Amino acid sequence: MTDFFKSIPAIQYEGPDSQSEFAFRHYNPDEVIMGKRMEDHLRFAAAYWHSFAWPGGDPFGGQTLERPWFGDTMDLARQKADVAFEMFDILNMPFFCFHDADARPEGANFAESQRNLEEITDYFAAKMETSKTKLLWGTANMFSHKRWMSGAATNPDPEVFAYAAATVKGCMDATHRLGGQNYVLWGGREGYETLLNTNLGLEADHMGRFLQMVVEYKHKIGFKGAILIEPKPQEPSKHQYDYDVATVYGFLCRYGLEKEVKVNIEQGHAILAGHSFEHEIATAASLGIFGSIDMNRNDYQSGWDTDQFPNNHVEKALAFYEILRAGGYSTGGTNFDSKIRRQSLDAEDLILAHVGGMDTCARALKSAAALLEDGSLEALRTNRYAGWETDSAQAMLKSDLSSIMQDVLARDVNPQARSGKQERLENLWNRFV
Using an 8 Å Cβ cutoff, are 128 and 120 in contact?
no
Active-site residue (options: 26, 50, 99, 206): 99
Element (H, E) at 77: helix 74-91
Using an 8 Å Cβ cutoff, are 216 and 256 in contact?
no
In the beta sheet, which residues pair with residue 336? 46
Residue in 173, 123, 165, 164 with CA at minimum distance from that of residue 145: 164
Strand ranges (E), 9-69: 12-13, 23-24, 32-33, 36-37, 44-47
Active-site residue (options: 26, 41, 102, 279): 102
In the beta sheet, which residues pair with residue 95? 45, 134
In the beta sheet, which residues pair with residue 191? 240
Length of the chain, in residues? 433
Amino acid, res. 164: A
Instruction: Give φ, ψ of 251 to 5 degrees.
Output: -65, -45
299 is catalytic: no
- How far apart CA 47 and CA 194 sit, in angstroms, is 32
99 is catalytic: yes
Task: Give the residue numbers marked as catalytic.
Answer: 99, 102
